[in-house]
Amino acid sequence: MLGVFSKRGPVGFIRGCRETILSALTGGDIMDPTLDAVKTGTSTIGITFDGGVVVGADHRATMGHFIANKSVKKLFDISDYVALTTAGLVGHAQSLSRTLSAELKLYELKQGKHMTVKGAATLTANILVGRPHYVQLLIVGVDSSGSSVYSIDSAGGSIPDVYCATGSGSPYMYGVLEDQFKLNMSEKEALRVAAKALLASAQRDAASGNGMDLAVITPESGYRQLSEEEVSRLIQEI
């Protein structure tokens, strides 16, 4: 006992006694407040099509097995032609969306032009390398080089692709994407595939669901988010 006290200090010793007592009372099932008292969000998708990109996300946030919120925003327009989706800790995701939106607007003011999608992805990756966040992100958009989807992990790894899914529901969405995605799809086809993938994740992943947000980004119209009525009609057509 004295050895434990000397190694861990008085605070560590008291904490260790508390954990031992709680473990005995609960059968070893102790909730770590630093992990369980956070909200996480979970299914997002980005798909390129002929002339633009479709991007979407579900609404559910969870704390462990508890549904903490049914209307969390995980899809953000950080410029007129670039969008961000977030999966992971809600606090980290919201902080990043504010930072990126401000940085892209500042770039436009200084340079007199929009930042490219690759530039936005690189900026995001550099922020995460400097200060890791518990998130998995998609940076999607259009620029002079065409349509782009970048998957960015919590350590700052950035990978471009023609489509991508993130979050705990991603395995179910990839099943739909692998089966139904094809190059140079129309906007309507891409929207149907995205909606079908998000529905699949909602049906099989307990941490996903409670509706979805969908948006389209094109060079002509920029970022346009579908209304609830448009999303409902799209789901009925599937």
pLDDT in tens, 157-199: 999 999 999 999 999 999 999 999 999 999 999 999 999 999 9
Task: Give me 166's structure tokens.
Answer: 């993130």
18-32 pLDDT per residue, tens: 444 334 333 333 334
Catalytic entry in 20, 34, 40, 42: 42
Question: Using 50, 70 and 90 to split pLDDT, how confident is the model at 37?
Answer: very low
Token pair 């149907």 is found at 192
pLDDT at 132: 77
**What's the rounded Cα separation, in Å, for the pair 40 and 133?**
12
Share the mean pLDDT of the chain: 85
Low-confidence winner among 68-77, 175-184, 214-223 (lowest mean pLDDT)? 68-77
What domains appear along the chain, each with residue ranges and CATH number? Answer: 2-30 (no CATH), 36-237 (3.60.20.10)
Contact at 8 Å (CB) between 179 and 40? Answer: no
Number of other CB atoms surrounding residue 27 within 10 Å:
7
pTM for this model (two decimals) = 0.81
Question: Using 50, 70 and 90 to split pLDDT, how confident is the model at 112?
Answer: very high
Question: Using 50, 70 and 90 to split pLDDT, how confident is the model at 40?
Answer: low
Task: Check residues 204 and 226 and name the one with the higher pLDDT.
Answer: 226
pLDDT at 121 over 60: yes
Q: What does DSSP assign to residue 71?
A: -
For residue 166, the SS3 value is strand
Q: Residue 9: left (phi > 0), alpha (psi -120 to 50), or beta?
A: left
Look at residues 95, 75, 78 and name the one whose alpha carbon lies nearest to residue 86.
75
Look at residues 123, 156, 116, 167 and name the one whose alpha carbon lies nearest to residue 140.
116
Question: Using 50, 70 and 90 to split pLDDT, how confident is the model at 38?
Answer: low
pLDDT at 72: 87
Question: Using 50, 70 and 90 to split pLDDT, how confident is the model at 202?
Answer: very high
Strand partners, 76: 84
Contact at 8 Å (CB) between 183 and 158? Answer: no
Read off the amino acid at residue 71: S
Q: Is 218 a catalytic residue?
A: no
Token pair 């980290």 is found at 92
